[in-house]
């Protein structure tokens, strides 16, 4: 296990280096001058030049890139152009809000998808199966940038049941969590259905029923438990998609998280903050993939890490 973990951690270094390099290159290709954006259209060229010098933007790109990599090696993401504070501090300040939203979206998706997938598998080819998979297809087909405003219009504007934006109370979490978790729930329900159907065909389920186990216990304790490997894979991989989806969802609902911070940084050409936010999302994605692989060994003792 220790050797496997060390090898996987070593492999993340070139991945993160590639992400850092790509982000640095792309953000500098985006049209616009951070100094001009900070000072406004009416600023003089002398003021813009002085600000560019103070921000280090007058140096060659190669020098800026080497400085960026050197900071990463020391764990320093740089200072935000807009806020004048360390990028890591800004991300830490917004991280709890994004974490709460992502966890609530995952809980919603799992609580909805797992029962739907099991019911669809048990009643394969019947009405409940078709109804569950139709609901899943609808969830996959509705993008967050369309579903979010629709939910806000219905439940916040027309019905007045929930707040339309902001944070601070559990009610503020409902609409963004549903928007973010709908697509994941749809994918997870379809995967659960396919995995459970495959396991229900195995002889050990029939043997469990023959030993006197009830149908429900045979399904949950045997068929569903042995179908968890692909389900856990989808949950782990989609957690990165949830973090990416927060960029749109947080913007729609004015949720003060890392996703909204990233959009604000892009609008103001805040290079260090953009790079820091994307690197944070990348590190989280890689970490979730590693945790997913490690979870296989706990779910199925036959899996060995080498």
Q: Please report, for the domain that includes residue 98, its CATH number.
A: 1.10.3720.10
pLDDT score for 50 = 78
Compute the distance between CA of residue 146 and CA of residue 253 in angstroms, rounded to an integer.
Answer: 12
Residue 119 sits in the same domain as residue 205? yes
pLDDT score for 3 = 73
Residue 105 sits in the same domain as residue 212? yes
pLDDT tens for the chain, residues 1 to 306:
667 677 777 777 888 888 888 888 887 777 777 777 776 666 677 777 777 787 777 778 788 888 888 888 787 788 888 888 888 899 989 888 988 988 899 899 888 888 888 888 888 888 888 888 888 888 777 887 888 888 889 988 888 888 888 777 888 889 999 988 888 888 888 888 888 887 777 667 667 667 766 666 677 666 777 777 777 777 777 777 777 778 888 888 888 888 888 888 888 888 888 888 888 888 888 888 777 777 766 666 566 655
Residue 188: closest CA among 233, 125, 128, 138:
233
Asked if the structure places residue 304 within a domain, the reply is no
Residue 283 sits in the same domain as residue 200? yes
Q: Which domain holds residue 54?
A: 34-76
Residues whose CB is less than 8 angstroms from the CB of residue 113 and which lie 6 or more positions away in sequence, other chains included: 136, 184, 185, 186, 187, 188, 189, 192
Compute the distance between CA of residue 150 and CA of residue 196 in angstroms, rounded to an integer.
Answer: 33
Residue 66 sits in the same domain as residue 94? no
Asked if the structure places residue 161 within a domain, the reply is yes
Residue 112 sits in the same domain as residue 250? yes
pLDDT score for 42 = 67
Residue 144 sits in the same domain as residue 278? yes
Asked if the structure places residue 22 within a domain, the reply is no
Asked if the structure places residue 286 within a domain, the reply is yes
Residue 285: closest CA among 28, 19, 104:
19
Residue 158 sits in the same domain as residue 273? yes
Residue 174 sits in the same domain as residue 91? yes
pLDDT score for 18 = 84
Asked if the structure places residue 213 within a domain, the reply is yes
Structural domain count, the chain:
2
Predicted TM-score (pTM) of the model is: 0.80
Residue 69 sits in the same domain as residue 173? no
CB-based burial, 116-140: b 16+ in 10 Å, e otherwise: bbbbbbbeeeeeebeebbebbeebe
pLDDT score for 214 = 65
Asked if the structure places residue 182 within a domain, the reply is yes
């Amino acid at each position: 296990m220790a050797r496997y973990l060390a090898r996987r951690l070593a492999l993340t270094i070139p991945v993160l280096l590639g992400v850092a390099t790509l982000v640095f290159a792309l953000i500098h290709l985006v049209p616009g001058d951070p100094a001009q954006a900070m000072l406004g259209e009416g600023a003089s060229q002398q003021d813009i030049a002085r600000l560019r010098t103070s921000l280090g933007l007058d140096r060659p790109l190669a020098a800026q890139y080497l400085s960026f990599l050197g900071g990463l090696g020391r764990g320093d993401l740089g200072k935000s152009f807009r806020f004048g504070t360390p990028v890591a501090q800004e991300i830490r300040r917004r991280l709890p809000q994004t974490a709460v939203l992502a966890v609530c979206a995952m809980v919603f998706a799992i609580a909805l998808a797992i029962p739907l997938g099991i019911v669809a598998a048990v009643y394969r080819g019947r009405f409940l199966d078709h109804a569950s998979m139709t609901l899943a297809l609808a969830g996959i087909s509705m993008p967050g940038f369309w579903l979010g405003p629709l939910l806000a219009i219905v439940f916040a504007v027309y019905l007045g049941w929930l707040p339309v934006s902001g944070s601070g109370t559990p009610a503020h979490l409902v609409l963004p969590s549903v928007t973010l978790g709908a697509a994941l729930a749809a994918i997870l329900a379809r995967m659960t259905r396919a995995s459970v159907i495959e396991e229900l065909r195995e002889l050990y389920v029939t043997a469990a029923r023959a030993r006197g186990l009830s149908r429900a216990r045979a399904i949950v304790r045997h068929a569903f438990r042995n179908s968890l490997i692909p389900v856990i894979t989808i949950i782990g991989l989609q957690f990165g998609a949830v973090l990416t989806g927060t960029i749109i969802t947080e913007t729609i609902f004015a949720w003060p998280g890392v996703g909204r911070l990233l959009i604000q940084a892009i609008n103001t050409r805040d290079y260090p903050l953009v790079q820091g936010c994307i690197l944070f999302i990348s590190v989280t994605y890689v970490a979730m993939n590693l945790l997913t692989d490690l979870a296989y060994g706990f779910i199925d003792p036959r899996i060995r890490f080498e």
